[in-house]
């Protein structure tokens, strides 16, 4: 288990040698060659002796972990594979070792509960114009520099104001609000896996859909179990470059790609989201490679969303993504064979709408979250009768 | 080697000291500006840079006492040449190494900022601190009874000249590396004269001059390449008194970057809609609109209401120049551009507006905080027509509001509620405050529809993003006991500093602990006279910050006058030091007691004046106060030095005490006293410090 990240190590080393190396670095900058350190990794670290003494009301023994000699445990929920000694806390801040057992502290204590249009997730091919009850506890296994929800993703469950909302109460709330889905979202639902699973099972029984909005950083076994109860997912593909994953997010690419394959194999409807961060995720070659991978491994039918980046959280010294870059990426993806490619965070862009992959006619016109035109009838294009992937009722 | 006369060496070293003052003050100001373009520009960072500069300078001064046994003119010459070369090198290093050390595009937290600033400036400021006592030691090798105060005076003359040269000339007409070049020309000339005529050897002198000039010219030649962004191209670049303005073109998009941070881009359609339509949709008939700073595309949105006039106030002409040149804002006949401090404009105008729209950064500096205080809101309300709306926004949240953010908006909310009958908060990535004396409606999308105003973002996304549920929850969560943010007690600055620390999950506690330990150890090692100078350095820097802050409250951010205040604070040292020297020679032993008492009285006058007279105080009174404080401060240096025997070691200790005290004064006043205690109590804190100094003076050994 790491206690000092490589990123931190590099930073401290850089400072140590700064005086002697400054002129050399300066020369490097003048040559116009940007030093792209492929080894920079902002992955989180575990928190030593940070667990509560006893599991509390909002705790539950975790589903996936291994016991190790000396009361240590290894969390098996995600590829971080945190090894926790007695009283240690996981990278995601939600899991702790109490007396040789792994507990989740994120159970029945969501800190954010909202009703959102399903398009906001974004899910464009799943029950359009319906509402989802969105819930989140704290915690994330990533450290994204541009996190929109850093207030909860980078916090401990006991450090925030939260609702007392156990799984059955979530279902009651959903029924009361007359939503058709429950979305596990905002922070990283993998970190409150048990809460999500127990809620999702109850939701399934009541005919409420379960939506998983995630970074996809999960191990195959828990994912497989999750697929049993999932109706739809939107998973981030933050980059197609492992170095960028390490540098901006503190994760690895391969486990995320495996998640896509599992979801595809298990027949879960999912959509892919890529935030186009200028200078990092705006390389045409990389996007082409990514699109080819999607077509070859997942097929052409999973919708892909390219989102416009805005300065956020710690990544606040970059300009927003130029709209033409998104337009170009949409074209590249469609040329590669992906049938449904969208542009997000750009109002009134052509890429907000759904066009039939067969006849090219407008199927769904979106004005923000409003849908003034819907030409899909019984999962088919009204004009050419081609089947449109997704769940439309 | 031909011996030179004592008088000659005095004159030539004196010239070098003055010229070094000119170059070093310019380098210091440029260094701060360069850091502000690379780092977060909050008060903590500014104070940290100054602290590091002064503290390392103090260490350098201290080192001079230990490492100057074989001091010579030759070595003095090469130390000065090194200073010339290090000045541009330091600026280049700050500019180009940021992206090599840190992740491009990301902000950095407190400890990396501390380390980055410390390491970047250490070579130069250490050598600079070393230089001054070393120059004294070199002179004393030739003139044994040379007075240390004289070096102090010459250094002050150089500092004042450098401050004036940069603040009133170079900042307007030159780029940073051009400014460094010009500011170091006197030093190059003085050094050439010193070496060439002192030793009658032209070659080493020639080599030194060539090295210095080469470093300065190379820096100028790489000015623009070092400013180019990694992606996109540099379309516009301008240094102004208010900072660095750049326009970056990436594909078809132009982005305005101020001090390294993107302000807005030509494609920020959603942001412009929110800023304009949230307030204007509330108003039946929009005739007169005031915008204090702007957002890209705002004008086209405002024009949808067909107002008679749009007044656009922007303090920095370079910003409006760039905005219009690159189409970030469109020109229209209804618009009048006013280049003035927004608060000052509003205070002085008689015009009434239907809407006042503020587009300002977060209030994490004293300067911006002035637009979020009860007094400003009162001024704004007095310029609103019946049913008029004041609108502004601060950074918000998506799905959960953190405790810090809650404190921030609660404080602003309470402050606005003191002035306006109705205040509504609209949640989102930015939280909008709509303030009026008539009720504010939340169904903005419907209001716009009724007015037949078409929008892309609000008509499509408002209903899903800004639900009634979210609006109600935010407004219900506000803390009713949040502190009111006032001019004299800028609580918001302190809350935003806390927020900055929470973003990076760090705490300044460790830093404060280490500083406190260093300070305590230092106190245990110093004499009474050093303690007096330490407290005076602390007091003077604290007073300078208080005066600049108070001046901005009453008169606005007026670059030239603030430059004048800083210059006056430097200028007062000079007559003070001369008079102090005169008093020493006439054997007055109670000078330290009297001068400390004078500082206390001056600060009491300051407190009384701003408490009782507030707006009636003349701008000249601030200048007079600054001059008086620094004169008294300047007077103490020769006296303390004299009381310590005036020797080499004494001079080193006195210089160090002054610098270290100034370092602590800058840091503690900026980040602790003013944000937590407000202006008046900060002034009281400084008085308390000087009372301690008085007690120490009167203690028997």
In the A/B pair of chains, how many CB contacts fall below 8 A? 175
- Whether residue B495 lies inside any domain: the answer is no
Residues of B in contact with A14 (CB under 8 A): 100-101
Structure tokens at B390: 């004041």
Structure tokens at B237: 């670049």
- Whether residue B494 lies inside any domain: the answer is no
Model confidence pLDDT, tens digit, residues A273-285:
999 999 999 999 9
Q: Is B509 on the interface with A (CB under 8 A)?
A: no
Q: Is B610 on the interface with A (CB under 8 A)?
A: no
**Are residues B401 and A151, on separate chains, in Cβ contact within 8 Å?**
yes
Q: For B123, which of A19, A313, A370 is closest by C-beta distance?
A: A19
Q: For B250, which of A278, A347, A370 is closest by C-beta distance?
A: A278
Tell me the shortest Cα–Cα distance from B342 to chain A, in angstroms: 26
pLDDT given at position B614: 73
The Cα B75–Cα B79 span in angstroms is 6
**Are residues B503 and A150, on separate chains, in Cβ contact within 8 Å?**
yes
Structure tokens at A152: 């909860």
Measured CA distances, B668 to B44, B51, B512 (Å)? 10, 10, 10
**Are residues B97 and A25, on separate chains, in Cβ contact within 8 Å?**
yes
- Whether residue B157 lies inside any domain: the answer is yes
pLDDT category at A324 given cuts 50, 70, 90 is very high
Of the three residues B261, B282, B303, the one that is the final residue of a domain is: B261
Note whether B637 and B665 are same-domain residues: yes
Structure tokens at A146: 């541009």
- H or E segment and range at residue B536: helix B528-555
Note whether B581 and B636 are same-domain residues: yes
Note whether B351 and B288 are same-domain residues: yes
**Domain range enclosing B198:** 1-227
Of the three residues B174, B201, B227, the one that is the final residue of a domain is: B227
Q: Which of B316, B417, B408 is nearest to B363 (CA)?
A: B408
Mean pLDDT of A77-99: 97
Q: For B399, which of A154, A186, A314 is closest by C-beta distance?
A: A186
Interface probe for B, chosen from A8, A315, A322 (most Cβ of B below 10 Å), is A322
**Are residues B262 and A320, on separate chains, in Cβ contact within 8 Å?**
yes
- The answer to whether B303 and B332 have CB atoms below 8 angstroms apart is yes
Question: In 10 A of CB A311, how many CB atoms?
Answer: 20
Note whether B698 and B592 are same-domain residues: yes
B84 φ/ψ angles, rounded to the nearest 5 degrees: -65, -45
Q: List beta partners, residue A75.
A: A65
Note whether B222 and B253 are same-domain residues: no
- DSSP secondary structure letters along B263-323: EEETT-HHHHHHHHHHHHTT-SS--EEEEES--TTHHHHHGGG--SEEEEE-S-HHHHHHH
Of the three residues B452, B487, B522, the one that is the final residue of a domain is: B487
SS3 call for A65: strand
**Are residues A368 and B268, on separate chains, in Cβ contact within 8 Å?**
no
Please give the residue of chain B at the shortest CA–CA distance from A19. B119
The Cα B492–Cα B484 span in angstroms is 9
Note whether B182 and B243 are same-domain residues: no
Note whether B396 and B537 are same-domain residues: no
Please state the separation of Cα A289 from the chain's center in Å: 21
Q: Is B230 on the interface with A (CB under 8 A)?
A: yes
Q: Is B47 on the interface with A (CB under 8 A)?
A: no
- The answer to whether B39 and B97 have CB atoms below 8 angstroms apart is no
Tell me the shortest Cα–Cα distance from A67 to chain B, in angstroms: 31
Q: Is B97 on the interface with A (CB under 8 A)?
A: yes
Residues of B in contact with A136 (CB under 8 A): 399-400
**Are residues B463 and A370, on separate chains, in Cβ contact within 8 Å?**
yes
**Are residues A369 and B405, on separate chains, in Cβ contact within 8 Å?**
no
Question: In 10 A of CB A36, how many CB atoms?
Answer: 11
**B47 CB-side CA count, 13 A:** 26
Assign residue B657 the CATH number of its domain: 1.20.1250.20
The Cα B408–Cα B401 span in angstroms is 10
Tell me the shortest Cα–Cα distance from A265 to chain B, in angstroms: 33
Mean pLDDT computed over every residue of chain A: 91
pLDDT given at position A182: 98
Q: Which of B279, B311, B307, B283 is nearest to B387 (CA)?
A: B283
The Cα A211–Cα A184 span in angstroms is 6
Please give the residue of chain B at the shortest CA–CA distance from A326. B251
Interface probe for A, chosen from B93, B96, B105 (most Cβ of A below 10 Å), is B105
Q: Is B397 on the interface with A (CB under 8 A)?
A: yes
Residues of A in contact with B429 (CB under 8 A): 148, 310
Please state the separation of Cα B40 from the chain's center in Å: 12
Tell me the shortest Cα–Cα distance from B220 to chain A, in angstroms: 13
Taking the CA atoms of residue B478, residue B480, residue B481 and residue B485 in that order, the dihedral angle to the nearest 10 degrees is 70
The Cα B372–Cα B392 span in angstroms is 9
Mean pLDDT lowest among A41-45, A176-180, B675-679: B675-679
Tell me the shortest Cα–Cα distance from B336 to chain A, in angstroms: 29
Assign residue B11 the CATH number of its domain: 1.20.1250
Note whether B223 and B234 are same-domain residues: no
From chain B residues 249-268, the ones with a CB under 8 A of any chain A CB are 250-253, 255, 257, 260-262, 265, 267-268
Structure tokens at A286: 């990389």
Note whether B317 and B328 are same-domain residues: yes
- DSSP secondary structure letters along A296-363: HHH-S-S-EEEEEP--BTTB-SSPPPPHHHHHHHHHHHHHHT-S-EEEES-TT-GGGSEE-TTT--EE
First to last CA, chain A: 47
Note whether B290 and B243 are same-domain residues: no
pLDDT given at position B640: 86
Q: Which of A289, A284, A268 is nearest to A326 (CA)?
A: A284
Q: How many domains does chain B have?
A: 4
pLDDT given at position B329: 93
**Are residues B231 and A278, on separate chains, in Cβ contact within 8 Å?**
yes
Q: For A279, which of B100, B230, B461 is closest by C-beta distance?
A: B230
Mean pLDDT lowest among A24-38, A298-312, B354-368: A24-38
In the 8-state DSSP scheme, what is residue B452?
A: T
Which domains are delineated in chain A? 1-35 (no CATH), 112-381 (3.20.20.70)
- Whether residue B500 lies inside any domain: the answer is no
- Whether residue B498 lies inside any domain: the answer is no
- How many residues are recorded in chain A? 393
- The answer to whether A118 and A127 have CB atoms below 8 angstroms apart is yes
- DSSP secondary structure letters along B465-518: HS-HHHHHHHHHH--TTPPPP-SSS-HHHHHHHHHHHHHTT--THHHHHHHHHH
- Whether residue B147 lies inside any domain: the answer is yes
Question: In 10 A of CB A119, how many CB atoms?
Answer: 24
Q: Omega of the bond prior to A122 within 30 degrees of 0, cis?
A: yes
| pLDDT surpassing 50 at residue A372 | yes
Please give the residue of chain B at the shortest CA–CA distance from A38. B103
Note whether B191 and B298 are same-domain residues: no
- The answer to whether B263 and B297 have CB atoms below 8 angstroms apart is no
- Whether residue B497 lies inside any domain: the answer is no
B208 φ/ψ angles, rounded to the nearest 5 degrees: -60, -45
Model confidence pLDDT, tens digit, residues A140-161:
999 999 999 999 999 999 999 9
**B493 CB-side CA count, 13 A:** 30
Q: Is B647 on the interface with A (CB under 8 A)?
A: no
The Cα B116–Cα B112 span in angstroms is 6
Which residues lie below 8 Å from residue B605, measured CB to CB, with a gap of 6+? B625
**Are residues B251 and A325, on separate chains, in Cβ contact within 8 Å?**
yes
Assign residue B479 the CATH number of its domain: 3.40.50.150
**Are residues B100 and A28, on separate chains, in Cβ contact within 8 Å?**
yes
Interface probe for B, chosen from A317, A347, A348, A364 (most Cβ of B below 10 Å), is A317
Please list the helix, strand and coil fractions of chain A in percent, rounded to the nearest 5, in that order.
30, 20, 45
- DSSP secondary structure letters along B182-217: HHHHHHHHHHHHHHHHHH--HHHHHHHHHHHHHHHH
Note whether B689 and B622 are same-domain residues: yes
A102 φ/ψ angles, rounded to the nearest 5 degrees: -95, 125
Q: Is B446 on the interface with A (CB under 8 A)?
A: no
- The answer to whether B341 and B558 have CB atoms below 8 angstroms apart is yes
pLDDT given at position B587: 65
- Whether residue B386 lies inside any domain: the answer is yes
Within chain B, how many helices (H) and strands (E) appear?
A: 27, 11
**Are residues B232 and A248, on separate chains, in Cβ contact within 8 Å?**
no
**Are residues B101 and A32, on separate chains, in Cβ contact within 8 Å?**
no
From chain B residues 165-184, the ones with a CB under 8 A of any chain A CB are none
Task: Give the residue ranges of chain B where pLDDT is below 50.
Answer: 1-4
């Amino acid at each position: 288990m790491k206690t000092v990240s490589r990123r931190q190590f590099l930073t401290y080393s850089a400072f140590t040698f700064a005086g002697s190396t400054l002129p050399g670095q300066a020369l490097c900058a003048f040559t116009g060659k940007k030093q792209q350190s492929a080894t920079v990794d902002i992955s989180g670290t575990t928190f030593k002796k940070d667990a509560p003494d006893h599991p509390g009301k909002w705790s539950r023994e975790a589903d996936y972990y291994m016991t190790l000699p000396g009361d240590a445990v290894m969390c098996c929920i995600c590829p971080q594979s945190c090894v926790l000694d007695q009283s240690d806390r996981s990278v995601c801040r939600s899991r702790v070792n109490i007396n040789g057992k792994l507990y989740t502290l994120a159970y029945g204590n969501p800190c954010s509960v909202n009703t959102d249009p399903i398009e906001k997730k974004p899910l464009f091919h799943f029950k359009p114009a319906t509402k989802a009850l969105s819930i989140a506890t704290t915690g994330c296994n990533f450290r994204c520099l541009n996190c929109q929800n850093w207030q909860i993703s980078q916090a401990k469950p006991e450090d925030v104001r939260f609702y007392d909302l156990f799984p059955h109460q979530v279902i009651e709330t959903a029924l009361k609000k007359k939503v058709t889905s429950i979305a596990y979202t905002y922070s990283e639902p993998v970190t409150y896996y048990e809460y999500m699973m127990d809620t999702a099972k109850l939701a399934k029984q009541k005919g409420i859909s379960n939506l998983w909005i995630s970074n996809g950083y999960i191990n195959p076994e828990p994912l497989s179990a999750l697929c049993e109860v999932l109706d739809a997912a939107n998973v981030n593909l933050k980059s197609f470059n492992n170095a960028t994953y390490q540098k901006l997010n503190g994760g690895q690419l391969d486990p995320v790609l495996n998640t896509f394959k599992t979801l595809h194999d298990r027949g879960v409807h999912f959509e892919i989201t890529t935030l186009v961060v200028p200078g990092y995720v705006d390389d045409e070659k990389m996007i082409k490679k990514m699109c080819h991978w999607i077509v070859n491994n997942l097929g052409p039918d999973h919708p892909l969303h390219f989102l416009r980046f805005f300065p956020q959280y710690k990544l606040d010294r970059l300009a927003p993504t130029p709209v033409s870059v998104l337009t170009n990426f949409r074209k590249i993806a469609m040329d590669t064979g992906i049938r449904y490619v969208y542009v997000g965070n750009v109002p009134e862009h052509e890429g907000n709408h759904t066009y039939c992959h067969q006849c090219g006619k407008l199927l769904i016109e979106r004005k923000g979250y409003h849908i003034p035109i819907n030409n899909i009838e019984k999962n088919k294009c009204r004009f050419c009768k081609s089947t449109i992937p997704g769940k439309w009722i | 080697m031909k011996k030179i006369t004592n008088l000659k060496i005095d004159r030539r070293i004196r010239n070098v000291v003055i010229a070094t003052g000119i170059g070093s003050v310019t380098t210091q100001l440029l260094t701060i500006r360069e850091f502000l373009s690379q780092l977060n520009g909050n008060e903590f960072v500014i104070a940290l840079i100054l602290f590091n500069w002064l503290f390392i300078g103090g260490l350098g001064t201290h080192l001079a006492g230990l490492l100057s046994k074989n001091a010579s003119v030759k070595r003095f010459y090469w130390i000065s040449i090194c200073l010339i070369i290090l000045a541009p090198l330091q600026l280049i290093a700050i500019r180009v190494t940021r992206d090599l050390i840190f992740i491009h595009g990301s902000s950095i937290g407190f400890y990396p900022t501390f380390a980055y600033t410390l390491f970047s400036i250490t070579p130069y400021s250490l050598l600079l601190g070393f230089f001054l006592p070393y120059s004294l030691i070199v002179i004393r090798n030739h003139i044994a009874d040379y007075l240390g105060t004289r070096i102090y005076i010459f250094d002050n003359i150089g500092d004042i000249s450098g401050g004036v040269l940069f603040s009133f000339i170079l900042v307007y007409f030159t780029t940073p590396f051009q400014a460094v070049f010009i500011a170091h020309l006197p030093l190059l000339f003085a050094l050439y004269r010193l070496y060439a005529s002192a030793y009658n050897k032209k070659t080493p002198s020639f080599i030194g001059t060539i090295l210095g000039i080469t470093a300065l010219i190379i820096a100028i030649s790489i000015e623009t390449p070092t400013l180019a962004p990694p992606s996109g191209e540099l379309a516009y670049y301008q240094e102004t008194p208010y900072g660095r303005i750049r326009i970056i073109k990436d594909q078809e998009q132009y982005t305005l970057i101020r001090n390294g941070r993107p302000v807005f881009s030509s494609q920020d359609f959603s942001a412009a809609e929110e800023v304009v339509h949230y307030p204007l949709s509330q108003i039946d008939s929009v005739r007169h609109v005031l915008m204090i700073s702007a957002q890209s595309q705002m004008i086209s949105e405002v024009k949808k209401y067909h107002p008679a006039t749009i007044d656009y106030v922007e303090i920095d002409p370079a910003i409006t120049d760039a905005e219009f040149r690159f189409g970030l804002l469109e020109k229209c006949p209804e618009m009048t551009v006013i280049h003035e401090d927004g608060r000052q404009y509003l205070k002085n105008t008689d015009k009434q507006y239907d809407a006042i729209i503020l587009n300002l950064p977060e209030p994490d500096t004293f300067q911006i905080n002035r637009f979020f205080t009860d007094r400003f809101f009162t001024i704004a309300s007095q310029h609103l027509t019946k049913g008029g709306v004041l609108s502004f926004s601060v950074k918000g949240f998506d799905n959960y509001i953190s405790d810090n953010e809650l404190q921030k908006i609660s404080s602003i909310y309470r402050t606005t509620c003191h002035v306006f009958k109705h205040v509504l908060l609209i949640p989102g990535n930015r939280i909008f405050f709509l303030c009026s004396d008539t009720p504010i409606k939340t169904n903005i999308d419907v209001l716009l529809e009724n007015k037949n105003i078409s929008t892309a973002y609000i008509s499509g996304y408002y209903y899903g993003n800004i639900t009634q549920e979210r609006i109600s929850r935010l407004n219900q969560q506000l803390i009713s006991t949040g502190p009111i943010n006032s001019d004299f007690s800028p609580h918001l600055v302190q809350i935003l500093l806390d927020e900055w620390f929470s973003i990076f999950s760090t705490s300044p506690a460790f830093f404060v602990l280490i500083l406190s330990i260093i300070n305590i150890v230092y106190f245990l090692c110093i004499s009474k006279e050093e303690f007096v100078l330490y407290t005076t350095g602390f007091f003077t820097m604290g007073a300078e910050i208080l005066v600049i802050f108070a001046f901005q409250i009453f008169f606005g951010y007026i670059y030239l006058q603030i430059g004048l205040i800083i210059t006056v604070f430097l200028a007062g040292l000079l007559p003070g030091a001369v008079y102090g020297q005169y008093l020493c020679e006439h054997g007055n032993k109670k000078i330290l007691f009297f001068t400390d008492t004078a500082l206390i009285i001056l600060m009491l006058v300051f407190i009384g004046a701003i408490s009782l007279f507030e707006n009636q105080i003349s701008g000249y009174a601030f200048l007079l106060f600054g001059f008086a404080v620094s004169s008294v401060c300047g007077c103490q240096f020769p006296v303390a030095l004299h009381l310590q025997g005036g020797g080499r070691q004494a001079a080193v200790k006195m210089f160090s005490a002054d610098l270290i005290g100034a370092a602590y004064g800058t840091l503690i006043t900026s980040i602790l006293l003013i944000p937590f205690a407000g202006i008046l109590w900060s002034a009281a804190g400084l008085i308390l410090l000087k009372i301690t100094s008085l007690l120490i003076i009167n203690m028997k050994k």
